[in-house]
Amino acid sequence: MDKLIATGGKPLSGEIRISGAKNAALPLMISSLLTRETVMISNVPHLNDITTTMELLGQMGVGLQVDEKMSIQTDASTLNSAVAPYELVKTMRASILVLGPLVARYGHAEVSLPGGCAIGSRPVNLHLKGLEAMGTDIIFEGGYIKARAKRLKGTRIFMDMISVTGTENLMMAATLAKGTTVIENAAKEPEIVDLAESLNDMGARIEGAGTDQIVIDGVEELGGTAHRVIPDRIEAGTFLLAAMVSGGQIKLRDVRPQHMEAVLGKLSEAGAAVETGEDWISLKSPDGPIRPVGIRTSPYPGFPTDMQAQFVLLNTVADGMSTVVETVFENRFMHIHELRRMGANIELDGNTAVIQGVSRLNGAPVMATDLRASACLILAGLIAEGQTTIDRIYHIDRGYECIDEKLALIGARIKRIPGAYFASRSDEPVS
């Protein structure tokens, strides 16, 4: 298993192109299950979660072609299996997104139940409840969700909690249902809007994506389309943080600033000079100390939970006291234990982190626990005194395209050490 070694102390400055959004690309690829025609998705990021999705679709018999620019063409006319096996679902929870499309188009699906994960228990009850309301029979057998339906029926669905993939799953299923489906208390993330736009290009009739009420008039069938994935607002936010905490200056290209208002607002509050254009953002870190900022995560357009770990780091090196409250996931503070080992002064009280800024961090060996925690620890290593070794970085390769190479482009001293180098050590986890 690879590790990263980061050496701190250099301001990170330069220009970076932001990749396509992982959390938009995954549902877009999976939406190709809804049609017999070809779907072409461009600006797909080169990530392990994308490879897992290709493997998942490929195992079901979907034809896949990828070109050198990561445009992926899918052909689900050859689908011959409606099973998402445990081996793939356990590595990527978003695999649950195949459930709605498979039931809607083929009338059955078997999807391994995702278990808990490093950031919380993450049940899928809302996905299942919505599909049941549309006429799906669901049983659990051998760790699998086994779903069957005749043609799904449109209905009114109230989501008890705002769920991103829950909304996506039900919206995809409803495109082929008989009649109208109304999803109330829907998630409003830009990734939902991107998916709805692509589905509408395929012939779906979806209105209201991006608001909390989505109305879907079911159609008989969907056709093909070509769609470009929106930029990754979390990758963009992470690079802005890299410049901010290291005292640097950065320009991001291929971004949508309007998707990042909560994050850009907090960076300005912390003292950054932020400028935006139609598809770019520039940030200059403050000349003086960083001001601490209060953070409370919530669904879009609130402050994204996927940027919480990075802002914990910002507050860790800010001048003063702050609180960070995580309201979306119950256990998304694992990075704090590692940051403390680097000298951070953070107290945890339930879902609240109380942070007293420190003037410097010290390099240490640390362990990544999930994707965004990994990003936080890498950035911490890049501002700490001395060397930080970040272990279990397979998490980061799931969701950040070539993060070490991109960071090196803005001056980071970062090195990837291939797993074999550490092969004699016995501390590697079984994932």
Catalytic machinery residues: 117
Q: Please choose, out of 38-46, 70-78, 159-167, 376-384, the segment that lies near ligand EPU by the rule CB under 6 A.
A: 159-167
329 binds ligand EPU (CB under 6 A): yes
| Encoded tokens for 42 | 């461009």
Near ligand EPU in 169-208, by CB under 6 A: 187
Task: Map the footprint of ligand EPU across residues 122-151, applying CB under 6 A.
Answer: 122-127
Contacts with ligand EPU in 210-249 (CB under 6 A)? none
Q: Contact between 306 and ligand EPU (CB under 6 A)? A: yes
307 is a site residue for ligand EPU (CB under 6 A)? no
Minimum distance between the CB of residue 256 and ligand EPU, rounded to whole angstroms? 17
Q: Tell me the C-alpha distance between 245 and 373, whole Å.
A: 16
Radius of gyration of the chain (CA): 22
Q: Which is nearer to ligand EPU, 175 or 305 (CB)?
A: 305
CA pseudo-torsion sign 84, 88, 91, 95: negative
Does 305 contact ligand EPU by CB under 6 A? yes
8 Å CB contact between 11 and 250: no
Q: How far is the CB of 92 from ligand EPU (least distance, A)?
A: 8
Of 7-15, 133-141, 158-166, 270-278: span binding ligand EPU (CB under 6 A): 158-166
Paired tokens of 23: 């959390």
Residues 80-119 contacting ligand EPU, CB under 6 A: 94
CA atoms within 13 A of residue 399's CA, in its CB half-sphere: 22
Query: Could you say whether residue 164 binds ligand EPU (CB under 6 A)?
Result: yes
Contact 195, 166 (CB under 8 A): no
Dihedral (C-alpha) 400, 200, 165, 187: value to the nearest 10 degrees? 100
The type of residue at 50 is: I
Least distance to ligand EPU, CB of residue 105, Å: 21
Q: How far apart are alpha carbons 91 and 398 in whole angstroms? A: 10
Tell me how many degrees the CA angle 6-12-18 measures, rounded to the nearest 5.
Answer: 100
Q: For residue 241, what is the DSSP state?
A: H
399-418 binders of ligand EPU (CB under 6 A): 399
Question: Which residues contact ligand EPU by CB under 6 A?
Answer: 23, 26, 94, 120, 122-127, 161, 163-166, 187, 305-306, 328-329, 371-372, 399
